[in-house]
Copies of this chain bind each other. A is one copy, B any other.
Amino acid sequence: MAVPNKFILYNYWRSSCSWRVRSVLELKQIPYEYRPVNLVKGEQYSEEFRRLNPLNQVPTLQVQTSDGHSEILHESMAIIDYLEQTFPTPSIYPKDPIERAKVITIAETIVSGIQPIQNLSVGRKIEELSDSKIRSGDWSREWIRMKFQKLEIFLKSMSGTHTFGNHLTLADFCLVPQVANAIRFKVDMDEFPLLKRLYEFLLTVEPIAKAQPSNQPDKQ
């Protein structure tokens, strides 16, 4: 089987889904080439990028293999699964299948239940359809706050020093960028002491710290 020998990550410094993938690349110490796609300028809709990803989204990972072949992967959770399958150590999951599922529950609560709904594309569509009765930023703040109220309670029985227990997992890589989004949308994090404590600690943990937006070359 051909072996992957080069990774190119198309991403954006402030994209929370990009941050998830960068954290996993850092954890597994996989070198990669960074290619910025400026979402605010709409570069994800360019003809060039559309050829790479007809879904017009970052992150997008190009995998070049030892036989000169190249594959394109989309969606943060799919890219992360590929990295976990191909570079299993250190793992992003606990070994026990129940504990592993709980980590995925936390991740999916954010990945499917919060992030896509507070996302700019949804906010803008709602603003447009409501003739600006609902403002995009207000929508995002309201949705995150509603969901964080449930997440704060849910995590009480699961979190230790880290989002799940006392070890770095996929749950951390999903939580931190989501809290960063919340802060950008001016959600008052004092309402969520557990989420706030986890965020502040995890921002100092190396893979997440290295992968954070302010350390990226396209940072503005």
Residues on A facing B (Cβ under 8 Å): 1, 54-56, 63, 71, 73-79, 81-82, 85-86, 96-98, 100-102, 104-105, 107-109, 111-113, 115-117, 122, 125-126, 129-131, 133-134, 139, 142-143, 150, 153-154
Contacts and interface: CB of A to CB of B under 8 A. Distances in A.
B112 A77 contact: yes
A54 B111 CA distance: 18
- Count this chain's copies in the assembly: 2
A77 B77 CA distance: 11
Given A78-B101, A78-B105, A112-B112, 19 more contacts: A54-B150, A55-B109, A55-B154, A73-B102, A73-B105, A74-B105, A74-B109, A75-B105, A78-B104, A79-B101, A82-B100, A82-B101, A85-B100, A108-B112, A113-B116, A116-B116, A117-B117, A125-B143, A129-B142
The 5 A-B pairs at the shortest CB distance, nearest first, are namely A78-B104, A82-B101, A112-B112, A85-B97, A78-B105
